[in-house]
Chain A
Amino acid sequence: MPLRQKIFALVVGISVFLFILEMVRRKKLREEYSWLWLLTGMGIIVLAVWYDLLLFVSHFIGAVVPTTTLFIFSLVFLLLISLQFSVKISSLADQNKKLAQELAILRHEMEEMQSEHLVD
């Protein structure tokens, strides 16, 4: 891998990694969602530094060019991250449903108590 490419990949990888860390530090991103992103950044760094690993993996999965390996893995990571979101959205939707139902019932009970109070 040419030096220029290596440096670029390293810069990207380290930037992603640091950016995610900073988001977690500022509490903009919760730890539970940060690990897949951190793993992505880490993956980029490792593959940039350790070219032989990239060649080995490419050979292992039968990719002709090492760039294909990079693309495949970035796609897999994106897939995993969006799947994680879908799972989370499902549980949020469920919690949202329960809250709405609970709120509606409580509000009804409150109105009932208020009108009883008025009668007394």
Chain B
Amino acid sequence: MGVKNIVIIPAYNEEENIAGVVLGIKKVVPDADIVVVNDGGQDRTGEIARKSGGQVISLPFNMGYGVALQTGFKYALRRGYEYAVQMDADGQHDPRDILSLLQAVKSGEADVAIGSRFLEGNSYRIPALRRLGMFIFSFLASVFTGQRITDPTSGYQALNRRGLMFYASDYYPVDFPDADVIIMLHRAGLKVKEVPVTMHSSTTGRSMHSGLKPLYYIFKMFLSIFVTLLRKNTVKADMF
């Protein structure tokens, strides 16, 4: 038995997309385990994911994307997986990129590899206002990490065990993990690397950025980055 890999997919009411996502991953990495974290949805996501060949962890009630994701990290850590990939359940992420993401962490280049849709001039269409928000936060992330970050909102990432340990810890902000996480990683001494990936526009068109959420998101991100910078750099000493 070689090194164990796991793909973690947080899913909330994704019965239409989840089978395609799981099967797509199986085609690319047949030996990896796939775990779908069912975030207290009301539909048949869990059942379909299990039939498609994934393992299913069900949260007792809806707790949001970040909590579901972290559940997967905790599980992966507990089960001793060496490498983990996190992926969205809505089919936006092309499973073929798993290999290049995993390659970046397996080679030791990075503890966390982040799939960026903007490296290599990907033609991904985004509304102007959101583009502005992304621009600001990728700028801040770039400044505070001292390296070019183009897509801090990306939920398509690969991690090694060090990355897993950080993501499973209490430092991980479970409401909108984003640019602040990248800055925290950097300050904790973990290596981050962006890898170009393909993302499709969401098939269902349902986004977690709707209603008043963008405003809260912007507020939260500024506050989180600000207090992250105010904190003493104790994370490293605590964990590693």
Q: How many A residues have CB within 8 A of the partner chain? A: 10
Known interface pairs A104-B37, A105-B71, A108-B75; A97-B56 also in contact (CB < 8 Å): no
Chain B contact residues, majority secondary structure: mixed
In B165-224, which residues have CB < 8 Å from any A CB?
A: 170, 174
B48-89: CB near A (< 8 Å → 1, else 0) gives 000000011111110100010011001100100000000000
A67 within 8 A of B: no
A23 within 8 A of B: no
A-B residue pair count with CB separations less than 8 angstroms: 36
In A100-116, which residues have CB < 8 Å from any B CB?
A: 100-101, 103-105, 107-108, 112
Query: Is A104 a contact of B55 with CB atoms below 8 Å?
Result: no
Give the Cβ gap from A84 to chain B, nearest Cβ, in Å.
Answer: 20
Q: How many B residues have CB within 8 A of the partner chain? A: 17
Give the Cβ gap from B61 to chain A, nearest Cβ, in Å.
Answer: 7
Q: Tell me which of B56, B63, B67, B174 contacts A108 (CB under 8 A).
A: B56
A112 to B50, CA, bound (A): 12
Give the Cβ gap from A103 to chain B, nearest Cβ, in Å.
Answer: 6
Query: Is B56 a contact of A101 with CB atoms below 8 Å?
Result: no
Which residue of chain A has the shortest Cβ distance to B70 in the bound complex? A101
Which residue of chain B has the shortest Cβ distance to A111 in the bound complex? B56
In B74-123, which residues have CB < 8 Å from any A CB?
A: 74-75, 78
- Please, which residues of chain B bring their CB within 8 A of the CB of A94? 170
In A21-47, which residues have CB < 8 Å from any B CB?
A: none
Name 21 A/B residue pairs within 8 A (Cβ), A-sorted. A94-B170, A97-B174, A100-B59, A100-B60, A100-B61, A100-B63, A100-B67, A100-B71, A101-B59, A101-B70, A101-B71, A101-B74, A103-B60, A104-B58, A104-B71, A105-B75, A105-B78, A107-B58, A108-B55, A108-B57, A112-B55
Given contacts A101-B59, A101-B71, 12 further A-B contacts (CB under 8 A): A97-B63, A97-B174, A100-B60, A100-B67, A101-B70, A101-B74, A103-B59, A104-B37, A104-B59, A104-B71, A108-B56, A108-B58
